[in-house]
């Protein structure tokens, strides 16, 4: 198989950078925040698993309905209301079905959670226990041995939060599957990466699946082709790397701090504070350390830094940090 480990020198776990040989027993679960993520980031991995006779399930978090500019363009309308978004989500669902057919994944393998597009972070922060259980139930029902999920470094808020949700959901399971993260928006900060290369036929099939997402190709075809044309590259989630990291990676400027909100979430609770009221201690190096009263609690926990002002820029500036 053409699975190549890269950046081995920087990675202390180079021996872990081997994907298992796929077979009829392989069960790949792909977590996708929006229709098209499955193809852009996983179209070759999915084909390889299917070619070996393995099963693929896709859990789709949102319908991708909050997508106003392509909708304005294709539907020739300026104002977009709730009914219009619903219709757009249905359109994207049909396109996703066509893309999955290209990738040899039956529609029955698709589970949709119907969370709001651009609202996955809200779902997580408002009702973490319910969201985590909903996702965990979908994972449990399929018993995957590989889970592909967005990277924590992805700057699209739905993607970064999808990583956090998936980690919290996986922590509910007794057996952890192999976990791979994929990055679409932003720069990958991971040092351990695995490439899944495509044969010419797989690359052509992936392109046909991409073209099925016509609503997205209409305005952004070249960007979509560029993203999908990259080699599929995954960072394995390595348990040994999940050490306690209660020192935050952020040192925001003083003038920004009144605008910032810090959130901490685990599998059942979420808390948000204005920066000035967050339980932070500053160490001698000027770094901020979270001082949570129940810091010894079991299970993964994540912090998020965000600006409280509304903004036209949809991407996260700071995003999530694994504690
Ligand atoms: Zn997406």
> In 156-286, where does DSSP find H-type helix?
157-170, 200-211, 214-229
Q: Separation of 295 CA from ligand 1 center, angstroms? A: 32
Are 148 and 56 within one domain?
yes
Q: Separation of 244 CA from ligand 1 center, angstroms? A: 29
Are 192 and 83 within one domain?
yes
Per the domain annotation, does 249 fall within a domain?
Answer: no
Q: Separation of 60 CA from ligand 1 center, angstroms? A: 10
Is-contact 166 296, C-beta < 8 A? no
Q: Separation of 109 CA from ligand 1 center, angstroms? A: 19
Query: Cα–Cα distance between 288 and 82 in angstroms, integer?
Result: 41
pLDDT of residue 191: 75
Q: Separation of 62 CA from ligand 1 center, angstroms? A: 9
Kindly state the average pLDDT of the residues 92-118: 98
Q: Separation of 137 CA from ligand 1 center, angstroms? A: 22
pLDDT bracket for residue 66 (50, 70, 90): very high
Contacts of 221 (CB under 8 A, 6+ apart): none
**Residue 46 or 291, more confident:** 46
Which of 41-50, 232-241, 306-315 is modeled with the greatest confidence? 41-50
Partners of 270 in beta bridges: 265
Q: Separation of 216 CA from ligand 1 center, angstroms? A: 11
pLDDT of residue 16: 55
Kindly state the average pLDDT of the residues 150-157: 95
Per the domain annotation, does 41 fall within a domain?
Answer: yes
pLDDT of residue 289: 92
pLDDT of residue 8: 41
Phi, psi (5° rounding) for residue 230? Answer: -70, 155
113 pLDDT above the threshold of 50: yes
298 pLDDT above the threshold of 80: no
Q: Separation of 161 CA from ligand 1 center, angstroms? A: 11
304 pLDDT above the threshold of 50: yes
1 pLDDT above the threshold of 50: no
Are 22 and 94 within one domain?
yes
Q: Separation of 37 CA from ligand 1 center, angstroms? A: 5
Query: Cα–Cα distance between 257 and 185 in angstroms, integer?
Result: 26
Return mean pLDDT, the chain. Answer: 91
pLDDT of residue 3: 45
Per the domain annotation, does 20 fall within a domain?
Answer: yes
Kindly state the average pLDDT of the residues 280-294: 87
Kindly state the average pLDDT of the residues 148-177: 95
Are 181 and 278 within one domain?
no
Are 183 and 262 within one domain?
no
Q: Separation of 66 CA from ligand 1 center, angstroms? A: 11
Are 273 and 315 within one domain?
yes
CATH number at residue 73: 3.40.50.10320
Q: Separation of 34 CA from ligand 1 center, angstroms? A: 4
Are 30 and 172 within one domain?
yes
5 pLDDT above the threshold of 60: no
Q: Separation of 33 CA from ligand 1 center, angstroms? A: 5
Q: Separation of 304 CA from ligand 1 center, angstroms? A: 19
Helices 82-102 and 214-229: crossing angle, nearest 10°?
A: 50
229 pLDDT above the threshold of 50: yes
Over the Cα atoms of the chain, what is R_g?
20
Give the least confident one: 1-5, 66-70, 127-131, 315-319: 1-5
pLDDT bracket for residue 227 (50, 70, 90): very high
Q: Separation of 110 CA from ligand 1 center, angstroms? A: 16
Per the domain annotation, does 246 fall within a domain?
Answer: no
**3 state SS of 294:** coil
pLDDT of residue 295: 62
Query: Cα–Cα distance between 198 and 238 in angstroms, integer?
Result: 25
Q: In whole angstroms, how far apart are CA 99 and each of 11, 46, 95, 107? A: 35, 12, 6, 10
pLDDT bracket for residue 245 (50, 70, 90): confident
Q: Separation of 32 CA from ligand 1 center, angstroms? A: 7
Contacts of 255 (CB under 8 A, 6+ apart): none
Kindly state the average pLDDT of the residues 14-19: 67
Are 214 and 277 within one domain?
no
189 pLDDT above the threshold of 80: no
Per the domain annotation, does 250 fall within a domain?
Answer: no
Q: How many domains does the chain have?
A: 2
Q: Separation of 63 CA from ligand 1 center, angstroms? A: 10
4 pLDDT above the threshold of 60: no
Please identify, among 217, 241, 265, the residue that sits at the C-terminal boundary of a domain: 241
Which H/E stretch holds residue 149?
A: strand 146-150
Are 53 and 187 within one domain?
yes
Please identify, among 241, 276, 298, the residue that sits at the C-terminal boundary of a domain: 241
Q: Separation of 213 CA from ligand 1 center, angstroms? A: 13
Partners of 5 in beta bridges: 194
Residue 261: domain span: 257-322
pLDDT bracket for residue 239 (50, 70, 90): low
Kindly state the average pLDDT of the residues 296-308: 85
Q: Separation of 293 CA from ligand 1 center, angstroms? A: 35
Please identify, among 209, 241, 273, the residue that sits at the C-terminal boundary of a domain: 241
Is-contact 111 59, C-beta < 8 A? yes
Q: Separation of 141 CA from ligand 1 center, angstroms? A: 24
Q: Could you tell me what percent of the chain has a pLDDT over 90? A: 77
Q: Separation of 68 CA from ligand 1 center, angstroms? A: 15
Q: Separation of 50 CA from ligand 1 center, angstroms? A: 23
pLDDT bracket for residue 13 (50, 70, 90): low
Phi, psi (5° rounding) for residue 287? Answer: -90, 150
């Amino acid at each position: 198989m053409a699975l190549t480990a890269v950046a081995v020198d920087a990675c202390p776990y180079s021996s872990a950078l081997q994907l298992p040989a796929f077979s009829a027993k392989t069960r790949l679960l792909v977590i996708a925040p929006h229709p098209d993520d499955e193809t852009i980031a996983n179209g070759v991995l999915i084909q390889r698993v299917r070619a070996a006779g393995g099963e693929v399930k896709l859990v789709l978090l949102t319908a991708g309905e909050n997508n106003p500019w392509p909708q304005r363009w294709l539907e020739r309308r300026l104002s977009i209301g709730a009914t219009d978004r619903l219709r757009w989500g249905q359109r994207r669902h049909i396109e996703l079905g066509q893309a999955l057919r290209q990738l040899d994944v039956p529609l029955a393998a698709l589970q949709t959670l119907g969370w709001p597009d651009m609202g996955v972070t809200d779902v997580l922060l408002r009702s973490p226990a319910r969201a985590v259980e909903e996702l965990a139930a979908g994972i449990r029902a399929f018993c995957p041995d590989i889970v592909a999920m967005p990277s924590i470094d992805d700057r699209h808020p739905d993607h970064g939060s999808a990583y956090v949700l998936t980690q919290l959901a996986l922590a509910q399971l007794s057996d952890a599957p192999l976990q791979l993260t994929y990055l679409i928006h932003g720069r990958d900060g991971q040092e351990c990466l695995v490439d899944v290369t495509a044969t010419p036929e797989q690359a052509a099939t992936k392109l046909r699946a991409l073209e099925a997402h016509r609503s997205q190709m209409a305005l952004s075809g070249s960007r979509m082709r560029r993203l999908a044309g990259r080699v599929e590259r995954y960072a394995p989630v390595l348990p040994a790397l999940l050490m306690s990291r209660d020192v935050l990676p952020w040192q925001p400027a003083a003038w920004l701090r009144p605008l910032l909100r810090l959130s901490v979430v685990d599998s059942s609770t979420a808390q948000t504070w204005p920066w000035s009221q967050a339980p932070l201690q500053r160490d001698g190096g000027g770094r901020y350390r979270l001082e949570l009263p129940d810091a010894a609690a079991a299970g993964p926990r994540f912090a998020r830094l965000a600006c409280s002002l509304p903004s036209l820029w949809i991407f996260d500036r700071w995003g999530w940090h694994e504690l």
